[in-house]
Structures are given as structure tokens and as C-alpha cells.
């Protein structure tokens, strides 16, 4: 996630120019470091970020660059402080081996046209779970949790943890020009896995309890028949999780209304890739 901060320090280059700089340094046996963060690439000279590769990957943060950088910086400080105060978090490894999303076509098909069902969706799910596990402070959590302006930023700062960050160091060792690789993101990748797995476990546990009343579930929400709505809400409420209830109405065998928006439950029947 540091690439947003680094970008302001490095000279932006088109991919062909960036590649040429790397090749020139390697052929000239010049010491430097090539760093990759997800799809982003940077050249470091000494400790200085000298060049960045222009990337067509557009990210909608919902904020100005200045505000997003400030938010990311604050999130990083909170994460690092929490890990210092609770070093046991560095040993946390939450397993998960079940499915993360599923549609129950038989349950949907049994609904009458015009019949209601309910989708209960966790608000800023990753952000809530990061707080639940202790990765962010209560102060930081509460400051941004209610804000819709930071909706995308909260999701991005957690998902960025899962991006591989590595560097290739080109240097002269005992008179020989060598290269060696280092992975810089192992800690953050494990944190991201833990957050995802804790969320998946929470969803899966109640899916099992609700049984045949589940119409659909995914990483942060569950759709259920009307008579199981209260049980689902009580489950999330008892865990201290914030959620939103969406009213759904079956329109036909393919589509339903999600509040006021029409959505597909199934892939169109003339699509050969439909999953039954």
C-alpha cells in the first residue's frame, strides 16, 4: 500500500522506458533495487525511490489522493502499533477450508413469484473483522466505520495487505555482480489471510445453523427465507457486528429485486456456462 506514497517521490515512466532503465543498469552492472508491489514496479537507487512504472490499473478510492494517503498512513501506523502491543498476533494463523459462496437453486425455485426474502449484509466486513481480531485500534476503527466516504478506502487498505511485495537486489558481492530476491510482504499477507478466514468462518457457521433456509451466501452476506431473518440478525448482533438488511422480492425464475435494484439470481438459461 506504500505505492501511493512512493509515487509522489519517484519519476513516473512508461513501461518501455522503465524496462529500458532496468536493462541499462543490469548491462552496466550498476547496483540498484527493483521492487514490485502487486502490479506496480519501482526502481530504488540506494534508499531512494527513483523511478516508478506507469500503470493503467485504475483504483477508485472514493477520496482525493491527499486524503487517501493520509488514511493509508494512519491505518499502517495503527496496524504496526497493534502488532507491537500484541506480538501474539504475529503468530496467528486462522485456517479455513470450506466454500466461500454458494447459491441454493432449489430454495430459490421454491419461492413464489412476488415472495419476499432477506439479504443480511455485513457493513465494511473486512474493516470490522480487522478490528475484531485486534489489527486496528478501537479509535481508528470507530473513526472510519460510520463513514460512507471511506467505504472503498476501508476495503482497499485491507485488500492491499494481500498483495505480494518483493524486491530484487542487484549488487556487487566480492567483485561479482549478483541478484537476490526478498519477499517483503509475508507478514501482511498472513494478516490478510487471517481476516478473510475469520470472516468466512463467521459466515459459514451461521449458514450451517440456518440449514435449508439459506438461499445464497457469499463472503460478507447471506440471503435467507423470511422465517430465519431474526435468527440471522441475532447471530450478527451477538458477535457485535454491524449489518444492513436488504428486502428482496422474487420477480421470476431468473431475477429478483434487491431493495429497488433488479439482480440476476441465475445466469440466463441460454448461456451454456450456467451453473445448475
Q: What pLDDT, on a 0 to 100 scale, did the predictor assign at position 273?
A: 39
pLDDT tens, position by position, for the chain (276 residues)?
Answer: 554 555 557 898 999 999 999 999 999 999 999 999 888 899 999 889 999 998 755 577 888 888 998 999 999 999 999 999 999 999 999 999 999 999 999 999 999 999 999 999 999 999 999 999 999 999 999 999 999 999 999 999 999 999 999 999 999 999 999 999 999 899 999 999 999 999 999 999 999 999 999 999 999 999 999 999 999 999 999 999 999 999 999 999 999 999 999 999 988 655 443 333
Q: What is the DSSP string of the chain?
A: -THHHHTTTSEEE-HHHHHHHHHHHHHTT--EEEEEETTEEEEEETTEEEEEE--------SS-HHHHHHHHHHHHHHHHHHHHH-GGGGG------S-S-EE-HHHHHHSPTT-EEEEEEETTHHHHHHHHHTSS-HHHHHHHTT-GGGHHHHHHHHHGGGS-EEEEEEEEETTEEEEEEEE--HHHHHHHHHHHHHHHHHHHHHHHHHGGGEEEEETTEEEEEGGGHHHHHHHHHHTT--EEEEEEEE-SSSEEEETTEEEESS--TT-TT---
Give residue 9's pLDDT.
72
Residues 165-217: pLDDT tens digits? 999 999 999 999 999 999 989 999 999 999 999 999 999 999 999 999 999 99
Tell me, what's the pLDDT at 267?
80
Amino acid at each position: 500500500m506504500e505505492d501511493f506514497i512512493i509515487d509522489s517521490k519517484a519519476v513516473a515512466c512508461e513501461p518501455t522506458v522503465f524496462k529500458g532503465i532496468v536493462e541499462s543498469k543490469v548491462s552496466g552492472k550498476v547496483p540498484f533495487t527493483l521492487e514490485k508491489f502487486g502490479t506496480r514496479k519501482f526502481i530504488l537507487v540506494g534508499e531512494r525511490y527513483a523511478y516508478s512504472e506507469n500503470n493503467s490499473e485504475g483504483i477508485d478510492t472514493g477520496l482525493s489522493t491527499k486524503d487517501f494517503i493520509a488514511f493509508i498512513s494512519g491505518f499502517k501506523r495503527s496496524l504496526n502499533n497493534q502488532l507491537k502491543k500484541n506480538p501474539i498476533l504475529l503468530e496467528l494463523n486462522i485456517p479455513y477450508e470450506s466454500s466461500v459462496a454458494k447459491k441454493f437453486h432449489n430454495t430459490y425455485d421454491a419461492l413464489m413469484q412476488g415472495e419476499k426474502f432477506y439479504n443480511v449484509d455485513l457493513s465494511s466486513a473486512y474493516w470490522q473483522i480487522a478490528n475484531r481480531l485486534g489489527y486496528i485500534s478501537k479509535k481508528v476503527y470507530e473513526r472510519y466505520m460510520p463513514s460512507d466516504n471511506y467505504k472503498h478506502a476501508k476495503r482497499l487498505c485491507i485488500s492491499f495487505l494481500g498483495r505480494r511485495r518483493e524486491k530484487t537486489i542487484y549488487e556487487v558481492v566480492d567483485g561479482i555482480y549478483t541478484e537476490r530476491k526478498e519477499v517483503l510482504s509475508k507478514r501482511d499477507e498472513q494478516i490478510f489471510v487471517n481476516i478473510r478466514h475469520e470472516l468466512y468462518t463467521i459466515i459459514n457457521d451461521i449458514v450451517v445453523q440456518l440449514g435449508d433456509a439459506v438461499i445464497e451466501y457469499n463472503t460478507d452476506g447471506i440471503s435467507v427465507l423470511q422465517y430465519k431473518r431474526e435468527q440471522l440478525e441475532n447471530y450478527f448482533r451477538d458477535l457485535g457486528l454491524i449489518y444492513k438488511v436488504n428486502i428482496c422480492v422474487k420477480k421470476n425464475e431468473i431475477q429478483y429485486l434487491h431493495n429497488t435494484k433488479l439482480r440476476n439470481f441465475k445466469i440466463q438459461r441460454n448461456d451454456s456456462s450456467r451453473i445448475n
